[in-house]
A and B are shown apart, each in its own frame.
Chain A
Amino acid sequence: MKNTCLILCFFAFGLALLGALATGRYPIGVGDLLPLAASSLGYNGHVPPEMQMVFWNIRVPRILLSIAVGSGLSIAGVVFQALFRNPLAAPDILGVTAGSSFGAALAIMFFTTFVLGVQGCAFLFGVFAVSIAYFLANRSWDRSTSVLVISGIVVSAVFQAGVSILMYLADPYDQLAKIVFWIMGSFHVASWAKVQATLPVVVVGSALLCLFGWRLNIMTHNEEEALSLGVDVFRWRLFYLGTSTLIVASSVAAVGNISWVGLIVPHIARYLVGTEHRRLIPAAAFLGGGFLLVMDTVARTVSASEIPISIITSILGAPFLGYLVIHRKTNGAFDAGSG
């Protein structure tokens, strides 16, 4: 049954990719895709230059970025849920999103002249926010994850206040709208430069997390149990948090805040392949990439002007959370599957 589901998922991903490549303001049919690919390899495919330009410089980087960001956020969601032993933990629990938002708002107001200034600043502040949360938690004698969560809430609140201050000071005719749209998230800003800045971090980070996936199973147990099984919990927690934070910060920095993906995709993946993280991480990456690809295609095609992607993901994510809460009553856990 689950194998059939997986085959269907691969098929659906292929369809979604084809649909995303052939959908958009500029009409590119499915039949144009092969000549477009041929023309890029130097064969004369009789493809208009403007079609080539739209396809290779706008649509392809956008699709690549949506897959990379979807995969990255989903993997980070799996890792955060495992580390915090909480199926409702999301990748922004330690303040990475709030930090990135502050960094982006700061760059929109003061560093607009730099290439990738907003992305770079958002990335740095995202990582900085999580580092502060980790540092604060380490100052406590209690080294449990609950202290880390509280530190994350504190850091998020401070950076959110910072964003509010910047929005209050921003020029309402230009900067304020840019900050608001950045916070809502969108792939319309996708470019090859952003793909080059984001993809390596997501790919290397995801590969590392896949490689060390089995040990994450043990990290889902309480600290005493994990330590007694021979896992240096504090060292490994730093590794998993650090790698996931880099993935989330680079994703959010590239396209803004994207809600719910890191929360709901791990649950769907867990339903399909079980809880064992060696299987779960690649499954979540695949499903997350496909999910965000579909969401972005909907966001850019469903109305005359593009809808910020977080609106679409929230419309789907919030009812799914409701489903999880109802499901909890029946089996005592948020887990969607039995593994």
Chain B
Amino acid sequence: MPVRVEGLTAGYGNSTVLHDISVEIGSGRICALIGRNGSGKTTLMRCINGILKPSKGNISVSGREISQMKREAIARLISLVPQGNYSPFQFSCLEMVLMGGASRIKPWSAPCAKEKRRAAEICREVGVADLVDRPFNCLSGGQKQLIMLARALHQDSPVMLLDEPNAHLDFPNQHRMMALMRRFVKERGVTALITLHDPNLALQYSDDVVMLKEGTVVAAGPTAVLLDDVHLQQVFGSEIRVDRTVSGTHVVVPCNPAF
């Protein structure tokens, strides 16, 4: 389902973080959201997810305005893989994944056998079937992130927001996470908006890119076209170059060692 953001202005208290932003994220595509710390990536995600009310502008998913929808209805449309994942209590991984189905389960009810089978199946797809009975808090950062991904998939929403899913992950796990997302977007046709700090991951895995700087959109469109030296330098404010390796892959490298 396509996500449309029109004339969005939002912030916290008296401080405005996003200034008149308009972007459209195409259905069944991975859109990378890149920008420096404090550029408004997480704020934009919060607005799309209906958690932060914008002071101006509209957000709609497949023509349905988020501001007019109830929490449960938003959860059926949009799922979130959060940046941090800590629970003060020791839930098992399966219990964590099952929580993804909350918007389908009546408040006085609990997950039925069908929900449990479905959650176990998703854990198998994500490759964490061996973790289901283990306490969530005892997992490594990478394993926790995969469980969070499984929970978002169990939510079964057509739009997925991933807020820095690679934070705290080592190099192989970063690529594992992105490759899984690529696979699920292809198989399930979901629309994914992913905030990334590494432009190389955006270059390798995303279809589209939205580049933010100080709360405004520098560029938005196909990654292959827009993720170039000029735009990257505009966003990060330093000399950055997109090189082509001998194997033909594009890589983003900083020119200035003090970058």
User: A: which residues have CB within 8 A of B?
Assistant: 82, 85-87, 141, 211-215, 217-218, 220-222, 224-225, 227-232, 236, 270, 274-276, 278, 332-335, 337-339
Interface segment, B102-110, B183-191, B207-215, B245-253? B102-110
Hey, which bits of chain B sit against chain A, CB under 8 A?
13, 46, 49-51, 70-72, 74-76, 78-80, 82, 87-92, 95, 99-100, 102-103, 105, 107-111, 135, 137-138, 155, 161
For the complex of A and B, 5 pairs with smallest distance between CB atoms: A230-B75, A230-B103, A228-B80, A214-B110, A275-B89
A218:B137 contact, CB within 8 angstroms: no
Q: Given A230-B71, A230-B72, A230-B76: A220 and B89 within 8 A (CB)?
A: yes
- Secondary structure dominating the interface of A: loop
B213 to chain A, nearest CB (A): 24
* B88 engages A229 (CB within 8 Å): no
Residues of B near A232 (CB, < 8 A) are 70-72
Question: Do residues B91 and A339 form an inter-chain contact, with CB atoms below 8 A?
Answer: yes
Inter-chain contact A214/B51, CB cutoff 8 Å: no
Decide if A338 touches B71 in the complex (CB within 8 Å). no
Partner of A339, one of B50, B95, B102: B95
Q: Which of A212, A221, A278 contacts B87 (CB 8 A)?
A: A221
Contacts A276-B95, A334-B88 known; 15 new A-B pairs at CB < 8 A: A211-B108, A217-B91, A217-B95, A218-B102, A224-B82, A225-B80, A227-B51, A228-B49, A228-B82, A229-B75, A229-B102, A230-B71, A230-B72, A270-B89, A338-B138
> Within the complex, what minimum Cβ distance (angstroms) separates B162 from chain A?
12
| Contact, CB under 8 Å: A335 / B80 | no
Is the pair B90, A228 in contact by a Cβ cutoff of 8 Å? no
Q: For the complex, give the distance between the alpha carbons of A214 and B112 in Å.
A: 12
| Total of A-B residue pairs, C-beta within 8 Å | 96
CB distance from A250 to the nearest CB of B (A): 23
The residue of chain B having its C-beta at the shortest distance from the C-beta of A220 within the complex is: B89
Say whether A85 contacts B88, CB under 8 Å: yes
Contacting pair A339 B82 (CB below 8 A) = no
B110 touches A228 (CB 8 A): no
Which residue from chain B places its CB closest to the CB of A270 in the assembled complex?
A: B89
A212 to B106, CA, bound (A): 9
How far apart are A227's CB and chain B's nearest CB, in angstroms? Answer: 5
Which one, B70, B90, B91, B103, contacts A229 given CB within 8 A?
B103
- Complex alpha-carbon distance, A224 and B43, angstroms: 12
Residues of A within 8 A of B50 (CB): 227
Partner of B92, one of A211, A215, A334, A339: A339
